[in-house]
Amino acid sequence: MTEQRIVVVQQQGSGDPKIRGIREHGRGMRIVKVVSIDEPLPEVLDEPEAYLPSDLEADLVLDFTRHPDLTWAVAELCRRRGIPVVASGKKIRVEGIFTPPT
């Protein structure tokens, strides 16, 4: 069985509990990168892509960002690369983005 490569994008540690859970209990899953955005952000981000890696490679991205511009940028980046995204509790509608209720 091939290990599922996961990238987590978070703001101010918002994904830390999930990261710990995956590392402790996620059989067949490996977090290959954690993108942490920790600085305060303005209400509107003119270039949210600047906060994201351009070389994103994964089987799945978990989006724990709080800023709607970042969520949109993650969704668009992953859509272009064909990477599914789980963004729980978000109200974004982009192909390939799964937004289950929290």
User: What is the pLDDT tens value at each position of the chain, 102 positions in all?
Assistant: 689 999 999 999 999 999 999 999 999 999 999 999 999 999 999 999 999 998 899 999 999 999 999 999 999 999 999 999 998 776 766 666 667 665
Task: State the Cα–Cα distance between residues 1 and 3, nearest whole angstrom.
Answer: 6
List the one residue out of 34, 37, 36 whose CA is nearest residue 22: 34
Predicted TM-score (pTM) of the model is 0.88
Query: Which residues 6+ apart lie within 8 Å of 20 measured at CB?
Result: none
Domains and CATH numbers, the chain: 4-98 (3.40.50.2300)
Which amino acid, one-letter code, is at 14? S
Q: For 8-24, what is each residue's pLDDT tens digit?
A: 999 999 999 999 999 99
Q: What is the pLDDT of residue 54?
A: 85
Across 12-26, b (16+ Cβ under 10 Å) vs e yields eebbeebbeebeeee
DSSP 31: E
